[in-house]
């Protein structure tokens, strides 16, 4: 792969290509037909997330998720059910819609350190074990203060 191709696949931050696009919805059951018409069938589950770090504070939340894996990019729909995760903030501040894109990493902690030095701030974090964790980061204001997710999972 040439340097130009590497740059197109993930830019200078070395994240690679995104592998997921996630939307926040207020009512997953009501939203699912609209997104199914666009992307195809979804698998639906609930996720209890105890002892997460949310803006530096330990808290728990519960999410209802729908995932579509039919194309090259995973599509995720997220309805916050309990707690006050970033998805709930998005609904209050912006309503339903695009929430984040996800990138995979083999070493979440070093990627977090590298991105912090570039102005990205961690807003949501959960480690499930030695090799499985995720983090949401708010991007620097210069690129719109949007959200990206990093996932470490073999």
Asked whether residue 12 is assigned to any structural domain, the reply reads no
Q: pTM of the prediction?
A: 0.91
pLDDT band at 12 (very low <50, low <70, confident <90, very high): confident
Asked whether residue 64 is assigned to any structural domain, the reply reads yes
Residues 137/147, Cβ–Cβ less than 8 Å:
yes
Alpha helices in 20-130 (DSSP H): 28-39, 86-94, 108-116
**Nearest CA-CA partner of 107 in 135, 86, 85, 72:** 135
**Nearest CA-CA partner of 113 in 104, 103, 122:** 122
User: Which tokens in the block code for residue 99?
Assistant: 């929430």
Asked whether residue 7 is assigned to any structural domain, the reply reads no
CA neighbours within 13 Å on the CB side: how many for 150? 31
- Residue 84 and residue 45: Cα distance in Å, rounded? 19
Residues 68/40, Cβ–Cβ less than 8 Å:
yes
- Residue 104 and residue 151: Cα distance in Å, rounded? 5
% residues pLDDT > 70 (the chain): 94
Asked whether residue 23 is assigned to any structural domain, the reply reads yes
Mean pLDDT rounded to a whole number for the chain: 93
pLDDT for 9 equals 59
Asked whether residue 131 is assigned to any structural domain, the reply reads yes
Asked whether residue 117 is assigned to any structural domain, the reply reads yes
> Which residues have a Cβ under 8 Å from the Cβ of 97 and sit 6 or more positions away?
23, 24, 90
pLDDT for 7 equals 43
User: Which tokens in the block code for residue 47?
Assistant: 């996720």
- Domain total for the chain? 1
Instruction: For residue 59, give the CATH number of its domain.
Output: 3.10.180.10
- Residue 136 and residue 87: Cα distance in Å, rounded? 11
Question: Could you read off the pLDDT of 77-119 as tens digits, one per residue?
Answer: 999 999 999 999 999 999 999 999 999 999 999 999 999 999 9
Residue 43 sits in which domain range?
17-152
Asked whether residue 30 is assigned to any structural domain, the reply reads yes
Asked whether residue 126 is assigned to any structural domain, the reply reads yes
């Amino acid at each position: 792969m040439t340097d130009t191709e590497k740059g197109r696949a993930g830019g200078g931050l070395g994240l690679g290509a995104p592998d997921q696009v996630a939307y926040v919805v207020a009512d997953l059951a009501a939203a699912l037909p609209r997104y199914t018409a666009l992307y195809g069938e979804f698998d639906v589950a609930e996720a209890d997330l105890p002892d997460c770090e949310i803006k530096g504070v330990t808290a728990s939340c519960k999410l209802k998720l729908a995932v579509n894996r039919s194309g090259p990019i995973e599509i995720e729909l997220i309805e916050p059910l309990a707690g006050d995760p970033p998805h709930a903030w998005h609904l209050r501040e912006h309503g339903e819609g695009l929430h984040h894109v996800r990138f995979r990493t083999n070493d979440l902690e070093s990627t977090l350190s590298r991105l912090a030095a570039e102005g990205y701030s961690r807003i949501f974090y959960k480690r499930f074990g030695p090799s499985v964790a995720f983090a949401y980061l708010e991007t620097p204001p210069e690129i719109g203060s949007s959200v990206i997710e990093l996932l470490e999972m073999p």
